[in-house]
A and B are shown apart, each in its own frame.
Chain A
Amino acid sequence: MQVSEQDPAAGPAARKVGEFLRSRAEQIAQRWADAALFRTVFTVSRDEAVEACKAVVEALAEVAATGRPDDITAPGFHAVREQLGRMAATRARTGSTPAQVAGEVADLSRPAVTLLRGEFDDPAGGQAQDCVLALTVLMGTLRLVVMETTLSQGQELIERQRQQLLEVATPVIKLWEGIVAVPLIGTLDSARSQVVMESLLDAVVAERARYAILDITGVPTVDSLVAQHLMKTVAAARLMGAECIVSGIRPAIAQTIVHLGIDLGNVVTRSSLADALAHALRRQGSAVPPGTPAASLAP
């Protein structure tokens, strides 16, 4: 991974910084372990913090050794990316903003630079200056890596929560032997409709259901997109051998559907979930043997 003659100052200076980081890993780690970033994450044991610091120092040493301290994609960072991600996530959970975390990473720079200066007989000399510059660039790159990781962690968190919400919001209920229902509450968007459809159809298989009820009492508006999703669900259920009933069509929604000119076609609709259940029980009643609750309850 030797890159030659890229930046006459950064190349050799960076490699020298790499050697420094390797030889002084223990001292640097000891200092970093007391810095806010590591201290607040590794609260249980200081040794653990020191170990984590060492891993980061080693990663930095490896990146520096390539002579390109500004390469954010350097393979040297791979080893610590996950660790940094976990640390960033921990800081995020305790309420730190990505900017605060970045600031804490920046604070790691000073103790390392102080140690580096001590390596030189003439800390103000040209060679020392080049090395300090290279280390500063390297620490800046680390900061970017942490920032990037923090942001992607945040996105993952949002994505995960969004999915949990989707899942929580679409429970499929077994109403009766052979009858499943999903009461929908809130706005139906494309992603949610997809989840509803999959959950309901999986329940049809799991419960060997003949009837699947989609109750839209809690859905505030039905536009043509929602209607399309409903019809797709009904069509898919029919292909599997189940009948899908849409219930809970309030007067306002019924009028909207008519005004929009949406043709719900062959979809069986009922005004309430109870009506839909009664319809399913009545239909099922002729197929189930007498004596079962379904038959006795059928009007």
Chain B
Amino acid sequence: MTSREQDHTPRVPVLMLGQTLLVTLQGELQDAVAGQLQDDIVSRIAAGPVTGVVIDITGVDIVDSYLGRVLAEIASSARLMAARTVLAGMRPAVAITLAELGLTLPGLRTALDVGRALALLSHSPPTGSPPHPGRAHHADLC
């Protein structure tokens, strides 16, 4: 594990919209920043009434296996604390690369943009159960 220098690592802002956390990732994300974000989100969920987390990656042009792992772990931790995570706005080139890498992030719900992600969270009941592994991301719409 790389050590996280709490004082020097720049933080990604975590916004609160009702009971949903909104995180917007932009451009180049250093490993330590991603790790810090993971800690921040988990403690925010623990602190307040949070039922959903939306991570907007519209502005991210590279997702490698490290960032992929961080995103997957955020979703898993959130689920354990009864909050659902939606990954929004992945670009086609990033999606193609991840599919080629074999990194399909099966535990994560996805949406085309933040609007859809918020709609997805408000439409589905706030349960902490993991999504059915075989079903598509919006299976709980029906």
A interface list, Cβ under 8 A from B: 197-198, 201-202, 204-205, 208-210, 232-233, 235-243, 266, 268, 283, 286-287
Contacts and interface: CB of A to CB of B under 8 A. Distances in A.
Contacts of B96: 197-198, 201, 232, 236
Interface residues of B, number: 30
20 contacts: A205-B92, A208-B112, A233-B99, A235-B104, A236-B96, A237-B95, A238-B110, A239-B87, A239-B104, A240-B91, A240-B92, A241-B88, A241-B89, A241-B90, A241-B113, A241-B117, A266-B135, A287-B119, A287-B123, A287-B138
Given A210-B112, A240-B110, A287-B123, A204 B90 contact: no
A202 B91 CA distance: 9
A239 B98 contact: yes
Nearest to A266: B134
Given A241-B88, A241-B116, A286-B141, A236 B136 contact: no
Given A241-B137, A266-B136, A198 B92 contact: yes
Given A198-B92, A286-B142, A239 B99 contact: yes
A210 B111 CA distance: 9
Contacts of B90: 239-241
A232 B141 contact: no
Chain A: interface secondary structure? Answer: helix
Contacts of B110: 238-241
A287 B112 contact: no
A243 B136 CA distance: 7
Contacts of A235: 95, 98-99, 104
A241 B99 contact: no
B136 A232 contact: no
B105 interface: yes
A40 to B, nearest CB: 46
Contacts of A208: 112-113
Contacts of B99: 232-233, 235-236, 239
B105 A241 contact: no
Given A238-B104, A283-B141, 19 more contacts: A198-B92, A198-B96, A205-B112, A208-B112, A232-B96, A233-B99, A235-B98, A235-B104, A238-B137, A239-B95, A240-B90, A240-B112, A241-B87, A241-B89, A241-B113, A241-B116, A243-B136, A283-B138, A283-B142
Contact of B95 (A201, A210, A283, A286): A201
B38 to A, nearest CB: 19
Contacts of B87: 239, 241
B5 interface: no
A240 B60 CA distance: 13
Given A197-B96, A202-B92, A243 B138 contact: yes
A232 B92 contact: no
B87 to A, nearest CB: 8
A120 B101 CA distance: 72
Nearest to B106: A266
B24 to A, nearest CB: 16
A235 B104 CA distance: 6
B125 to A, nearest CB: 14
